Every structure is written in structure tokens, then in C-alpha cells.
Amino acid sequence: MQGMSDLTGKPEVIVYVVSDAAGDTGELVVRAAIAQFHPIHADIRRAPFVSDVALLARITEQAAIAEAIVLYTLVRPHLREAMRQLAEEAGITAIDLLGSFIETLEQRTGRKSRQEPGLNHVLDADYFRKVEAVEFAVKYDDARDTMGVLKADIVLVGVSRTSKTPLSMYLAHQKFKVANVPLVPELKPPEELFTLPKRKVIGLTIDTGYLNVIRKERLKALGLPNTAAYATKNRIQEELEYAESIMKKLGCVVIDVSHKAVEETASLIMEYIRTP
């Protein structure tokens, strides 16, 4: 039944973000809206750089089969109109994020829009900083290269499944270079971590019971038995106590991510980082 999934990993809502540019704007709007319905899980399927009606038709067909919502940011008028008609014929919900505002601006200014997709990204220094930050987050995920700890604006530390990677990517879209370091009792944290200013490091913790549920569901999604040590409460408690001891040595701020959306935790981190 739609709307009944929780921690099963199955999406409660499927959203196609359709754009004749990269689709960043549409995805950010979807994520901002979905955050208001936490813990709903949304499957966001981006369809960028759409340039013809035939491709729109294929996307619409896929969206109809998936019973998805379509949100589109199409600058070219003929594509917007085609998307509207296709959605109406397919009987799916399609939301035009830009069209009505562009038309309103045309009426107010007496000018026609340039109808050029992606203008807000063209040779934009801000855009390139975001791209650089995303590439940084991917390169230095899970302490693959400990040099990232020294180069990062923010370093996230915590046990497995405390949203370190999703947070790194979200913060990267806010142009922060983020490295993250998993804390595991059997692995010594990189020495570089203890040389950083404490305000640069963010510790992530979580409730034992909540993490127990998340890890069991993760094992299930991988087709593994949920009785593995990874998901036992004793093992989780051991990891959390170890992580707490490391965070105390670091003297870093600690955020409890239990039942928090990624956007909410990221907002707390950014507020902390930006406070003198």
C-alpha cells in the first residue's frame, strides 16, 4: 500500500525531476518538501538535459508505470507544453516549477525570456565551487584518503549508518568540502584527525535502539540475515561507547541524528560552523 513504508528501504513517494538543464533546482525543491514529511523515504529520479518531446514521452510513460509524481523545470515553452499534455494524457500529477513564474515575469517586464536552459550555472564561480565540493566529498568518503581530513572545511565522525555520507553530499551542495571518518573499535582513527581545530570536527551519535532497526533493515536489503553481529545491540553499544571516547578526546561538538532528516542535521551543522 502506498504511503506505508518506513525503514524498509522502499520509497513511499517516487518523484521524477525533469529538466532541460541539470535538474539541480527541481531536486533541491523536492528534498526541501520531503523533509517536511520525515521519515518518509522518497525515490528521486532525475531526468536532466531533456531536449526533445520523444524523450519526454518515454519519461512520462515510466512515471505512469511507477505511479510517480513529476516535477519539471523546463525553460523552453514547447517542452513545457508537451510535458503538460503528456502528463494529462497519462493521468499523472505533473508540477511546473518554473513556467508560471517565467510567464508572469514576461507579462510584468514586457520582455520575452531568453529560453536558454542552465543560465544560472553558466561559468558561475558559485556553481564550480559546488561541483568541486561534491567531488571532494566523493573522494574523501569514509576516510579513503586521510589527507582529506586536513583539506576539509568540515570533518564528520561517527559509527556506521549515522548518515555521514548523505550529510557530506548535502553539505557539498552548500559548497562545504566535507570529509568523513568512520569510527570502528578495531580501526585506529587517522592521526590527522587529532591535529584539527575542534570546531572543524562534528561528531554524530544515535540512539542504540534506532540504529539497531536501521542496521537490521540494511542487512535485509543486502539479502543478509539480521542476526549478524553488525546489527546486535551489544555490538552497537560497544561501537557507540568507543565513538564517544574518541569524540571526547577530539573535544568536538556531538549531534544526535536519531529521527532527524539529513536536512535538519545539516542545518544544525551549518549554523554551528558559521557561528563565530
Phi-psi region of 25 (alpha: psi -120 to 50; beta: other; left: phi over 0): alpha
48: CB partners within 8 A, 6+ apart: 19, 21, 22, 23
How many Å apart are CA 199 and CA 250, to the nearest integer? 10
Let me know: does 270 contact 174? Beta carbons within 8 Å: yes
How many Å apart are CA 188 and CA 88, to the nearest integer? 57
DSSP three-state, residue 8: coil
Q: Which amino acid is at 255?
A: I
Let me know: does 256 contact 202? Beta carbons within 8 Å: no
pLDDT at 56: 96
pLDDT at 121: 56
How many Å apart are CA 139 and CA 179, to the nearest integer? 8
pLDDT at 120: 63
**Residue segments in the chain with a per-residue pLDDT below the cut of 70:** 1-11, 118-124
pLDDT at 10: 54
* Report field, pTM of the whole predicted structure over 0.75: no
Distance of CA 145 to the CA centre of its chain: 22
